[in-house]
Structure 1
Amino acid sequence: MRDNDQFAALVLAADRGDQDPVARYTGAACKAYAPVCGKPMVIRVLDALSGCNKIKSILLCGPPESLLSACGELKQRIENKQVDWVKNLDSPARSAVHGLSQIDMHQRILLTTADHALLTPEIVEYFLQASRNLECDATVGIIRYETLQDRYGNARRTVIRLRDGNFCGCNLFTFNSRGRTLVDFWQQAEALRKRPWKLINRVLGWRAVWSYLTGRLTLDQALQEVSEKTGVQVRPVILPFPEAGIDVDKVEDLQLVKSVLAKAISTHPPV
């Protein structure tokens, strides 16, 4: 595969350390190290990325250097240069900007998080291929809420309800050099993701809020507003995988992820 067809992966792995509810529940040094079916979440994410031939390199931003020795497998991968590591800063947005500054400006980026424990090479491959086909500056991975509900009806996720569907985020983004300027923008959106109308007001303005509240705002309209405000062409990639919409923010998320993986392992045990 040609280098210009590949992406550099940036994985955000900072959290609240042992104060994180998932870390407290599992006794892990930080959430990224929380074990799921015998393997730390961050290792599952790294395995999914390294299993996709569209990934050229992996840069992990966080956890803090003082915690690296708490996960021997991660420390070994860093020492063996399978994964590069940089320290996280004091917010996800600043960490992302710091991580991006370590990667060549002309390199296309995949941004994801270390708590995406159900990520697979298949999901990564699908998302990156669809993103390349769109030929835009940035893409955001989403799923229809019904896709998640049909498979995991008890999964509680934040839902953005638009005229053309109900959508959940997937913590998957791509950027080209121009699209990188959206990192702060995406972080602003993430901070308000639990309050959709405030998110839309801050990001898109009051007209979009009115359209949202009256049920007239569509996905394409919302992203077109983003593109017009930033000068960056943003497109959605709607993923068919319900697992893409599940990350681990809470203990109940962890329990769901464990049950999903345990079932997958029992159905297709490792050889």
Structure 2
Amino acid sequence: MSAPASDITAILLAGWRPVPDPLALAAGVEAKPLAPVAGDAMINYPARALLAHPAIGRVIVLTQAPELFADDPATAWLAEHPRVRFEKSGGGIASSLTALLDRADLPFPLLMTTADHVLLDAAMLDQMVREASGADIAVAMVERATLLARYPRSRRTWLKFRDGWWSGANIFWFGSGKARPVIALWQEVEQDRKKGWKIVSAFGPLTLLGAVLRIATLRGGIARVGRRFGLTARLVAMEKAEACIDADKPDDVVLIEAILANAAE
């Protein structure tokens, strides 16, 4: 069952950490999402991909300082676009999302991604919408073999499970209000990162033990977490290696610019 055309609200995270970002510093811009990649502000790439997709009805840019984007010539078009609106974010992703859900009348489903997801494209969005539709919550990830088959020198952070080594693709799906307890837990952990045991307590000891002993698959583990919360949770194993390559470090930008250059040839 697919989400109706133009019925999805996309949330584009365009915030930044309080510590100086190397990409922003090198570019001489105040915020990382404004840093250029291949001659354009990085946020413009995922923003255009979202707006061009037939399933996306509206885009909400969540950021600490909306005025920065309205004042920058490279991103002023976002502030003027009829299907884009800016909302102020807080100190963390989960807390900002919770606050947004509380103050704004947002229809589900919601698809969330990040401003540094420069390589986001229609194929990735097609797969996410197709495979996440019907779930209360879904997370996109890339298995290591998928990435290394195309980019053997790319380095990511991997989570090891019985069904492979996985890296996040920065695309999330919230299909219904049932996702709120998971977002609330996320917020709780963000507020006190030292108490990571809260995650274990919420997800259940079998999930942790399965991960440690590598007897659980990631797909099964996510489904089990969903059942713990009384909802349908799903892994979307992305087919495109580029789904987990974001513009986080200077080396990432070099790789992304090479990918963009090859695609333009």
For the criterion TM > 0.5, the same-fold answer is yes
Q: 1:183 to 1:45 in 2, by over 3 A?
A: same
Q: Is the 8 A contact 2:179 2:231 kept in 1?
A: no
Residue in structure 1 matched with residue 250 of structure 2 by the alignment: 251
TM-score (norm 2): 0.86
Residue in structure 2 matched with residue 33 of structure 1 by the alignment: 34
Per-residue deviation, 1:71: 2.4
Q: Which runs of 5 or more residues in structure 1 are unaligned?
A: none
- Cα deviation 1:156-176 (Å, max 9, x = unaligned): 111111111221111111112
Per-residue deviation, 1:259: 1.8
Q: Is the 8 A contact 1:170 1:246 kept in 2?
A: yes
Output the aligned Cα RMSD.
2.8
**SS of match in other structure, 2:53:** coil
**SS of match in other structure, 2:75:** helix
- Cα deviation 1:50-85 (Å, max 9, x = unaligned): 111000000001141342245224223313424100
Residue in structure 2 matched with residue 7 of structure 1 by the alignment: 8
Residue in structure 2 matched with residue 104 of structure 1 by the alignment: 105
Q: Is the 8 A contact 1:142 1:238 kept in 2?
A: yes
Residue identity in the other structure for 1:24: L
Residue in structure 1 matched with residue 161 of structure 2 by the alignment: 162
**SS of match in other structure, 1:111:** strand
Residue in structure 2 matched with residue 222 of structure 1 by the alignment: 221
Identity of aligned residues (%): 28
Q: Aligned partners of 1:34 and 1:199: how far apart in 2?
A: 36
Instruction: Map 1:166-177; keep pairs closer than 5 Å.
Output: 166-177=165-176
Q: 1:61 to 1:72 in 2, by over 3 A?
A: same
Instruction: Map 1:99-178; keep pairs closer than 5 Å.
Output: 99-101=100-102, 103-132=104-133, 135-178=134-177
Instruction: Map 1:77-92; keep pairs closer than 5 Å.
Output: 77-92=78-93
Per-residue deviation, 1:30: 0.9
**SS of match in other structure, 1:110:** strand
**SS of match in other structure, 2:216:** coil
Q: Aligned partners of 1:154 and 1:234: how far apart in 2?
A: 32
Which sits farther off after the overlay, 54-63 or 65-74? 65-74
Which sits farther off after the overlay, 72-81 or 48-57? 72-81
Q: Is the 8 A contact 2:41 2:75 kept in 1?
A: no
Per-residue deviation, 1:244: 0.6
Q: 1:252 to 1:205 in 2, by over 3 A?
A: farther
Residue in structure 2 matched with residue 60 of structure 1 by the alignment: 61
Q: Aligned partners of 2:3 and 2:129: how far apart in 1?
A: 14
Residue identity in the other structure for 1:38: G
- Cα deviation 1:130-178 (Å, max 9, x = unaligned): 222xx22111111211111111111111111111122111111111222
Q: 1:248 to 1:186 in 2, by over 3 A?
A: farther
Residue identity in the other structure for 1:176: G
Which sits farther off after the overlay, 65-74 or 21-30? 65-74
Q: 1:187 to 1:95 in 2, by over 3 A?
A: same
Q: Aligned partners of 2:217 and 2:245: how far apart in 1?
A: 23
Q: Which runs of 5 or more residues in structure 2 are unaligned?
A: none
**SS of match in other structure, 1:61:** strand
Residue in structure 2 matched with residue 183 of structure 1 by the alignment: 183
TM-score (norm 1): 0.85
**SS of match in other structure, 1:60:** strand
Per-residue deviation, 1:87: 1.1
Q: Is the 8 A contact 1:45 1:117 kept in 2?
A: yes
Per-residue deviation, 1:3: 8.3
Q: Is the 8 A contact 1:18 1:30 kept in 2?
A: no
